[in-house]
Amino acid sequence: MKLFGNPLSTCTRKVLCTLAETGTPYEFVTIDFTKGEHKQPAHLARQPFGKVPAIDDDGFMMFESRAICRYLNRKVGGALEPADLRGRAMMEQWMSVEQAEFTPAAMKLIYNYVFWPMMGKDQDSAMITDGNAGVTACLEVMDRRLASSTYLAGDQFTLADVNFLPYVEYLMASPAKELFGKHAHVMAWWNRCSERPSWRKTAGR
């Protein structure tokens, strides 16, 4: 198994966490954005949109992080998905929330607070305002769910949780951390998830 990605990439980190949770051995191949490696023919053959991650599993090529995570989990027995229909439905629901609602808002903040400062780019205050509003709206919904549930899909840690973690990690290390202060159940969930060995390894802690 080869994983082509970048260690700072949120989507790469989803796959790294899944690999760690499933105990899957792999070789990590870094794609250096600063050198334009993501737009080179060799990588475009793996990921035609010039993004990361992508995997090569003994000649079976895949891209798109959520699909890769599902594949990796199911390949080894599916421990990161609930066994029952309704549990799986909850997992899929929260993965959809992550993709459609949380991530677009979170990335507005992550670009401004994390990635753009690395590039010497100025912050966009309007973008930060929009990101704050979007993340806060999601946190309110998540907090209500987590008031009666250990994890997003139920009492089992699943791919739904995995897919939120890279974004929350960056937000918690930025001024956006203050958005989480009023959401005690989200904070308790984050504390549980962030101490898992798989995530500590993924985040380099």
| pLDDT band of 159, cuts 50, 70, 90 | very high
Residue numbers of the domain that contains 6:
2-75
Which residues, other chains included, contact 133 with Cβ-Cβ below 8 Å and sequence gap of 6+? 105
Q: What is the pTM of this model?
A: 0.96
Query: Which pLDDT value is given to residue 12?
Result: 99
Same domain, 67 and 97: no
The mean pLDDT of 68-89, rounded to a whole number, is 98
Number of domains the chain is built from: 2
DSSP 8-class letter at 113: I
Crossing angle between the packed helical segments 85-97 and 159-172, to the nearest 10 degrees: 30
Same domain, residue pair 112 and 66: no
38 near 51, Cβ under 8 Å?
yes
Same domain, 119 and 63: no
Q: Dump pLDDT digits (tens) for 12-31.
A: 999 999 999 999 999 999 99
The pLDDT assigned to 7 comes to 96
How far is CA 183 from each of CA 15, 146, 147, 178, rounded to the nearest angstrom?
27, 10, 10, 10
Q: Is residue 80 in a domain?
A: no
